[in-house]
Amino acid sequence: MRYKFFSLNELLEFSSKSQIKKLVKTFKCQKNADLELFLHQKAIIFEKKGRSRTYLYIDTKAKKIIAYFTISISSLNIENFSTKTISYLYGQNNVNSKCLPCYLIGQLGKSDNCNLKIGNQLLKKSISIIIKGHNILNGRFILLDSLNNDKIIKFYQNNGFIPIENVKKEKEVIKMIYWLL
């Protein structure tokens, strides 16, 4: 099979860091410079520091990364939320904490040279991996940053995500939620 999924962690374990650095540089995305910047400069460091996990979709024939996503465990600040909202997010409203745990899809996208329609597959894969963790550890929701663009927001909405920031505002990014309930 020409296109394969790999975890960055797996690649770092069985290849040299310099090889992987060369590999990540094959990912190009001018439409979303941050997607490229994160993979080129942060993904390996974050992987090694235990901050996030990155999964790569690789064209093994061209030896290029054509898409990737990064997931992590994060926490949501609930200091300004009503008790009702806290109970929805946590299952009870008497929380002795300023934050609640959540899963995060931090980055997700494909490269400029990828013509395959793999958005759904990529998102499905990222949720499947989180659900593996959810089956072991539990948890109530996933958060995701979507570019504030109608087409992209619609894509996530069609796949179970709901915006939790006002999409009409002049914001670069909108947070969205996916309930694991």
CA distance 142 to 61: 34
Q: Tell me if 44 contacts another protein by CB under 8 A.
A: no
Please list, in sequence order, all residues whose beta carbon lies within 8 angstroms of the beta carbon of residue 3, skipping any fewer than 6 positions away: 57, 58, 59, 60, 66, 116
| For another protein, the closer CB: 65 or 143 | 143
Q: Tell me if 162 contacts another protein by CB under 8 A.
A: yes
Nearest to 106 by CA among 129, 90, 83: 129
Relative to beta strand 173-179, strand 162-163 is: antiparallel
Q: Tell me if 63 contacts another protein by CB under 8 A.
A: no
88 to 107: interface string for another protein, x by CB under 8 A: xx---------x--x-x-xx
2-31 residues near another protein, rule: CB under 8 A: none
- Which letter does DSSP use for residue 11 in this model? H
Q: Tell me if 118 contacts another protein by CB under 8 A.
A: no
Question: How distant, in Å, are the alpha carbons of 3, 53, 60, 75 from that of 139?
Answer: 32, 18, 35, 11
| For another protein, the closer CB: 36 or 59 | 36
Q: What is the CA radius of gyration of the chain?
A: 17
Size of the site for another protein (CB under 8 A): 53
- Which residues contact another protein (rule: CB under 8 A)? 33-35, 37-38, 42, 46, 51-52, 70, 72, 74-77, 80-82, 84-85, 88-89, 99, 102, 104, 106-107, 120, 123-124, 127-128, 131, 134, 143, 145, 157-166, 172-173, 175, 177, 179-181
